[in-house]
Structure 1
Amino acid sequence: MRWGRTYFGVQALAGALWWVAVFTAPIVREITLGSLNPVAVAAFDIPLFVGGSVLAALGVKAAAVVSTCWTGVVATGLAGYATVTAEAGWGVVAMVAATVGSVFALCLVLLGRIPTDWLVRGPFAFRPAAARPTAATHVVSTFGQIIVFWGLFLVVIPLVARFLEQRWAIALPVPAFVGPVGVAVLVLASALGIWSAVVMSTLGNGTPLPSAMATSLVIAGPYRWVRNPMAVAGIVQGIAVGLILSSWVVVVYAIAGSLVWNYAIRPHEEADLERRFGDQFRRYRDTVWCWVPRLPTA
């Protein structure tokens, strides 16, 4: 709870300083509010965002809820406004970041923790694959998942992000060589992802999908050098797509995905593996690193 209240205190100070800048620096007003009337916006935002954050920092839980909800409303409204008018793009970036921070802080204030276990419930709960399907069936299922997930996370979402980045006028200049580098990195990362998927589905008797996980611990192929080669491949692919599109937003999106996976998903996945495979997984975890490739000792 203390860290949540601390965040709201910092947010209140940042919000107050931002409003001072809005009324004293035209450039700040232009890039964050566009043509919106700052007085009209301030009439709502100062009491609900700044004032609400102050009260939340003092321990008023209802104020934390109000401040978080208002931050989300402003982020959504600004995103719509920026998409229609091509103004206030950096205001959207700031409010989206504030919304994410506020949600995390609200969880700490209300629950005392960030409930990452909610992410692995229902259809995303960890379950071993059914025993009947053959290795060929698992391979086909795995490649079906690759088509869907790569299409969504490496094509659709990045293209939408790139469009919004351009529309909101928040794109940054990048060197010309970045695109070709991104293509090379994408090819290598994709090869790693496919190799990892084939090994997982043929030797693990399962798929990468949490609802049909491998029933055998896989420590062959790329899994000999790094514990999560598919995650490594996915993150690098996302960054590579960002380079190809010359989009810092897509690069940030990929890095944010790595943080979510590492701190929210991986602990639950590894706890499940430890429950199912015991000492075999513990020995593997102690000798093979999660993110950085390491030559096996034996």
Structure 2
Amino acid sequence: MPTSWKSPQPPLLFLACLLLGAALRFIHPLDLGLPQAIRLGLGGLLLLLVALHGGWGLLTFRRMGTTPEPNGVASALLTSGPFRWTRNPLYLGLATLLVCFGVLLDSAWVLGMALVLVLLLDRLVIVREEVRLRAQFGKVYEAYARRVRRWL
């Protein structure tokens, strides 16, 4: 696919994976078998982590005056905040949120869709973003990409 094609919207990819996992759960339930107390505790912890990490990522975008829109033009290369540890904290948050739903719903299907989401984000969104960032920021982006992992 040409890199000039627009990337799908990550929240829509998340929603599609969640709905597909829920549909599979409805058709053929495949439970994780976790006790309710563990599901609620772990799910709540994951939700808190997603909110804190994702909020920090969005605040970093806002503070630097650039857009989180995957098809937008970046006005700054983000290397601070959560971007010190991962080049894609918001996408990591979406994948973690899907894990959270899998745990809360006690569904191996929904949990497994987190891997599908990571693959979709990696191949359909991140690769295109990286091409644009390399073209825009050149050697500065290359050095950043060597220093900070794409995911974790």
TM-score, normalized by length of structure 2?
0.82
The aligned runs of 1:189-268 (5 Å cut-off) are 189-203=50-64, 205-268=65-128
Write 1 or 2 for the structure with the bigger share of helix: 1
Residues 200 and 214 of structure 1 are in contact (CA less than 8 Å); yes or no, is this contact kept in structure 2?
Answer: no
| Structure 2 residues without counterparts, runs of 5 or longer | none
The secondary structure found in structure 1 opposite 2:71 is helix
- Structure 2 residue 5 is matched with structure 1 residue 121: yes
RMSD: 2.8
**Which consecutive unaligned segments of at least 5 residues does structure 1 have?**
1-114, 126-144, 293-298
Matched, 1:175 2:59: no
Instruction: Work out the CA distance in 1 between the residues paired with 2:43 and 2:34.
Output: 12
In the alignment, the residues of structure 2 paired with residue 259 and residue 159 of structure 1 have an alpha-carbon distance, to the nearest angstrom, of: 17
TM-score (norm 1): 0.45
Shift of 1:276: 0.1
Q: Deviations over 1:169-211 (max 9, x none)?
A: 33225111133202211211221011101101220x2221123
Cα shift at 1:268: 1.8
Map 1:97-136 to 2 at 5 A: 115=1, 117=2, 121-122=5-6, 124=7
Name the CA shift for 1:181/1:254 in 2 (closer, same or farther; >3 Å): same
Distance in 2 of aligned mates of 1:227 and 1:173 = 31
Residue of structure 2 equivalent to 1:111: none
1:209 counterpart letter in structure 2: E
Q: Residues of 2 paired with 1:258 and 1:187: CA distance?
A: 20
Does structure 2 retain, via aligned residues, the 8 Å contact 1:197–1:207? no
Identity %: 25
Larger RCO: 1 or 2 (CA < 8 Å, sep 6+)? 2
Larger radius of gyration: 1
8 Å CA contact retained: 2:17, 2:116: no
